[in-house]
Each structure stands twice: as structure tokens, then as C-alpha cells.
Amino acid sequence: MTEVLVLIDHTDGVIKKVSLELLAMAAGIGEPSAVFIGPGADAALATLGDHGAKIVYVADSQAMLDHVVIPKVDVLAKLVAEKSPAAVLIPSSADGKEIAGRLAIAVDSGVITDAVAVSADVIATQNVFGGATIVHSKVSKGTPIITVRTNSIAPVQSGGSATRVDVAVEISASASATKVVNRVSVAKSGRPDLSEAAIVVSGGRGVGSDEGFTKIIEPLADALGAAVGASRAATDAGWYPHQFQVGQTGKTVSPQLYLASGISGAIQHRAGMQTSKTVVVVNKDADAPIFDLADFGVVGDLHSVVPDLTALVTARK
Amino acid sequence: MRGSFLSNQGVQVKICVCVKQVPDSWAEKKLSASDSTLDRASADRVVNELDEYAVEEALRIVEAGEGEVTILSMGPDEAADSVRKAISMGAHAGIHISDPALHGSDALATSLVLAKAIEGRGFDLIIFGSESTDARMSVVPAMVAARLGLPQMTFANKVELSGDSLTIHRVTDYGYDEVQSSLPAVVSVVEKTNEPRYPSFKNIMAAKKAPMETLSLADIGLDASTVGLANAWSQVNDFAERAAKAKGTIITDEGNGAEKIKEFLVTQKFI
């Protein structure tokens, strides 16, 4: 069976869920091989094998940490040339998309971003225009390079094990043209990552203030173990930081449950969340377009409904 | 954390800002039934709003010292309006690449065209918005950097220029990376990097007279066989509008709204 390369997204060997999802997707196309770049491969080997990887290609050198994006392109380009894989699957993060784009140029191949499914004959499904249109497309030149969104497929434990194969790559001149001089971690809330979360609790104009977010939206999110999102109206007003904005500009999310409070549902917002599996809405305005997406909706004041709901959810635990 | 610290007093900086004309992000967008490309007539055409941050960043850099900002766009004839619109924020000149053969070009072709148009003009910085609100691929800045062989300084929420040394804060999921390069370089800036200005009346009038080059593929030395829908590296097999969602249960809160949501969440096994 032809190999399918999967670029593993990880932090020092701690594998992100999306990487295991991509291994499951790769198994539907051919034989999954993981590509692990940076330190921590030994810690990750068993998990990758257990999720379907037969081979784990490892490129671990200081150069991989000193520069962004391009060393990873160099590794993948070498492997594509040597292994002629059926496809290369890459997580649809900011880095992942840039890696895919540059790899496409390096190996003269087509690139498709933000796929939510890839068939056995490598036809990709994308939800474009914020999920309003479903597109099937394929790469017509070279090796298909496809970035895949988080939560597109469930990881599968195969009980297998993987062989480590080290790859020596001399990084290109363009890789060394940019240098990372400092990595800065910003304190995290302890909540799940917005783009990976199974549940998102989101607030909009109706929340009314930054205090509304800390006293009404965040407690419900914490009771549900959810990430917090915000509409553009709320981030533009400065009530919640911009990195939590869900919408046409901002993050695209596709959680199991999306709970929207005080969000009217302009296209700008719907474009970032309408592929959510289940949508629950609280809004004062019965005519708000967000109700068109609701599986369950309450016409009412979020300032009383949401705190009551938080209390009920907490009481059940 | 945001904004620019600039210390390029007296230095001439030549900046190219790439902008894209897109359907208004507050409007519904469609694909055209005939060839599965964007139906550009289905919505109002505007400058991609994320590109306004790129124009603003370029203007701030030039205003801190000396230099000029050129707006570059590839797109159909109507895209000339968006070039003028971007110039009216305070830029100095425009380049519009327009050719019927470009219709349906993918990101690989677009990056090739932009790189060809930029090559040899002596720009110190090429600045992009981090993505377009229609295709949302976020790959063209990296691809243009690859094609020009220039440092890729993308996803910046802070841009700092000191002499010919460039430092950016590249946004990451844990915070940011501080990345350095020399000039010339390709930069992309993320949303909310700065506060894009509104065009002043004076600049709107000046934009009407600003020099504008309109170039064909032949003018930038490219053959039609390298671009366009027929030569794209990927193709759309088919597409469909998402079926409207079945109407859910909507109730009016009579003091029991929270209880009803809780019951729904229990039935759906979320709690």
C-alpha cells in the first residue's frame, strides 16, 4: 500500500489531538506514516503507533527550533521526493497552512486547505463560505497536499506499533533567513483551546460588558468544561480579547455543542460556527437570525437564563 | 504588545502592499454554477478588510521616516477600484494586474503572478493581510516569500523596523515568537494589529491622480499556460449549498428557560 505522510503537530512530544485524527484519515487512503519534527519523538512513538502509524520519520535538530515553517517544508519535500506518497496530510493551523503552501511550490503540486474529509481516491471535502457551501475538489498536479481541520474525524486506536526512522535534512538558505530569537508564552486560562474544544460557550452584544463575560459567560463555560468564544461585536467593544473572536474574521469552530448567548447571528458570525453539530441559543430578540441555526433556543434575557443554567449544570455534577 | 516601534528616521523605505478585492464579508457568498469559481457579482466588492491592517502598517512605517507605499492587486477590471480605495488611505501608487487568462487562478498561480510583478522593483518590504475573507487559505504571503526567495515574516501582530533589521511578533497558539530577519522581507499582519485609518478627503482626491500601472500577463513576462482555471494545480469536482437546518425547538422564557436548556443538554448527553 502507498504511504500517506501525516505531519504531527506537537509541543515537545505532547501530541495534539488533530494529529491522531489525521492518522485515522490517512488510513482511509493508504498506509499512514507520521512525520515528527523537533524534540520528543521517543515519548510520542508508542502513541503514534497505537493510532495507525507504521513508520515515524523523525527530524530532530536545533535548526527545527531556530526557524519557523521552512525547515518543516524542507523535511517534507525530501520525504515526498523519496517516498512518492499518495498524499500529505497536515493540520489546518496557521503554521500548517503555510507549510502546505510552500511544500506545494517545492514539489510542484496542488494544495487544498481546510478539508473536513478526504476520500480513498483523495477527493477532499471543504465547507467554504463559513459552511454555506460544500465543495469536493482534488489536486490535479503532483502529490496531493491537504490541510485538514480539527474535529473532522475520530482518532482510531489500532494497537499497532511504529518504527522510528531518522531523517537527516540540511535546511535551505531561506529557512535560515528568519530566526526565532525568543519564544513567549502568554498565561493560559486553563480552558480548552477554542479551535479544538468539544463545547464552546459564546457571548455577543447582548452580554453588554466585559463584566458580563467574566460573571455570566465564563462561569457557564467552566461548568461545562467549555472554551469561551465571542462575537465580533463583543471583541470590537473591547469586552473580550480578540483571539477569542468566532466568525468570518477570527476563528472557525466546529464543536459538538455551541451555546450562543446574546448573539444575533449576522453572516459574519455564522460563517465561523455554522458547522457546529448542536447549537443552543439564548437571545431576547425572537427574530434574531441565529435562531435559524438553533437545535434548541430560548427567547429570553441571558442575564437571568445563563446564570440559572450555570447553577443547574453545577448542581448536576 | 501591539503597534509599531519605529526608528527608521531619514531612511527611504519602499513598501509594496498586496490587496485583494473580495465580496463584502457581511454578505452571503456563492460559487458560480458554470465553472465553480467565486461568483463575484453575487455580493458588493470591497477591499479585503484584513488587508487594511497591512496598508495601515505600511503607512505608519513610511510616516516614521521617509518612503513610499505602492498598492498591488491581481484581479478583474473592477479590482482597480479596490486599488484606488487602498491608495486613498494615503498610499502613493498602484499596480493592477488584470488579464482574462487569470480567471480561476489558484493560490499557486496567484503567488506566481504577484512575485513576478514585485520582482526587480526594489521593494524593501512586501506586506499582506494574513488572509482573505473569501478563500481564507492564508497561504499566499508564504508562497510569495518562497517564490521571491525572501524571508517569510508572517502572522505578525507587531512589526518593528530598525535600519535594515526587521523584528516581528509571530502569533502562536501559546503566545508569540519573536522572529528576526534582514530586509527585503515578506510580512503578513493579523487582524487588529493596528487601527486602520479612514481615507481623508485630501487623500481620496489624491488617489484619483495617483500613478497607476495596469499590466497584463505579457507585461510581467508570464505565459497564459501557467495560470487560470484550466491550469490550476487543483480542481473543483462539484459543490452544493448546505441544506437549511431543520427548525429546532424554540421556546419563550417564562422563568423556566434554564431548566428547559438543561433538559435538552441532558437528552443530548452533554451533561
B5 pLDDT higher than 60: no
CA atoms within 13 A on the CB side of B11: 16
Structure confidence at residue B239 (pLDDT): 94
CA distance A256 to A13: 27
Closest A-chain CA to B132: A249
> Which of B231, B249, B271 is most worth mutating to test chain A (most A CB atoms within 10 A of its CB)?
B271
Contact A23, A155 (CB under 8 A): yes
B6 pLDDT higher than 60: no
CA atoms within 13 A on the CB side of A227: 23
CA distance A58 to A36: 5
CA distance A137 to B19: 26
Closest A-chain CA to B50: A249
A134 pLDDT higher than 70: yes
Closest B-chain CA to A132: B242
The chain-wide mean pLDDT, for chain A, equals 94
Structure confidence at residue B28 (pLDDT): 77
N- to C-terminal Cα separation, chain A? 48
Burial (Cβ within 10 Å: 0-12, 13-18, ≥19) of residue A47? buried
pLDDT per residue as tens digits for the range B43-81: 789 999 999 999 999 999 999 989 999 999 999 999 999
pLDDT per residue as tens digits for the range B200-221: 999 999 999 999 999 999 999 9
Burial (Cβ within 10 Å: 0-12, 13-18, ≥19) of residue A83? middle
A-chain residues near B173 (CB < 8 A): 93, 193
Lowest mean pLDDT among A261-265, A270-274, B197-201: A270-274
Cell numbers of A303, please? 442575564
Alpha helices in chain A (DSSP H): 17-27, 41-50, 62-66, 70-83, 94-106, 173-176, 210-212, 218-224, 232-236, 267-270, 302-316
Place of cell 499556460: B225
* Interface predicted TM-score of the whole assembly (ipTM), two decimals: 0.91
Mean pLDDT of B116-122: 97
> Which of B105, B191, B250, B260 is most worth mutating to test chain A (most A CB atoms within 10 A of its CB)?
B250
Strands (E), chain B: 12-18, 21-23, 45-47, 66-74, 93-97, 125-129, 152-162, 165-171, 175-182, 185-189, 212-215, 234-241, 249-252
Q: How far is B139 from chain A (nearest CA, A)?
A: 5
Tell me A293's DSSP state.
G
B181 pLDDT higher than 60: yes
Q: What is the dihedral of CA A273, A270, B135, B138, to 10 degrees?
A: -50
CA distance B36 to B34: 6
A119 pLDDT higher than 60: yes
Mean pLDDT of B112-122: 97
A-chain residues near B104 (CB < 8 A): none
B-chain residues near A113 (CB < 8 A): 136-139
Q: Which residues of B48-64 are buried (b: 16+ CB within 10 A; e: fewer)?
A: bbbbbbbbbbbbbbbeb
Helix axes A302-316, B257-267, angle to 10 degrees: 50
Q: What is the dihedral of CA B118, B119, B121, B124, to 10 degrees?
A: 80
Cell numbers of A147, please? 490541510
CA distance A19 to A9: 6
Closest A-chain CA to B142: A98
A-chain residues near B268 (CB < 8 A): 257, 278
Contact B253 A110 (CB under 8 A): no
Structure confidence at residue B9 (pLDDT): 53
pLDDT category at B3 given cuts 50, 70, 90 is very low
Structure confidence at residue B10 (pLDDT): 55
B8 pLDDT higher than 70: no
Cell numbers of B161, please? 523596523
CA distance B110 to B37: 14
pLDDT per residue as tens digits for the range A202-261: 999 999 999 999 999 999 999 999 999 999 999 999 999 988 999 988 888 999 999 999
CA distance B227 to B236: 16
Closest CA to B152 of A93, A176, A96, A60: A176
B269 pLDDT higher than 80: yes
Structure confidence at residue B192 (pLDDT): 83
* 3-class secondary structure, A8: coil
Cell numbers of B114, please? 504577484
Structure confidence at residue A121 (pLDDT): 96
Place of cell 521517543: A42
Interior CA angle at A272 toward A239 and B229, to 5°? Answer: 140
Burial (Cβ within 10 Å: 0-12, 13-18, ≥19) of residue A262? buried
Tell me B229's DSSP state.
G
Beta bridge partners of B152: B186
Structure confidence at residue B4 (pLDDT): 44
A-chain residues near B234 (CB < 8 A): 110-112, 137-141
Lowest mean pLDDT among A38-47, A127-136, B111-120: A127-136
Helix axes B107-118, B140-148, angle to 10 degrees: 50
pTM of this structure: 0.91
Contact B250 A177 (CB under 8 A): no
Contact B155 A268 (CB under 8 A): no
* 3-class secondary structure, A312: helix
Contact A140 B232 (CB under 8 A): yes
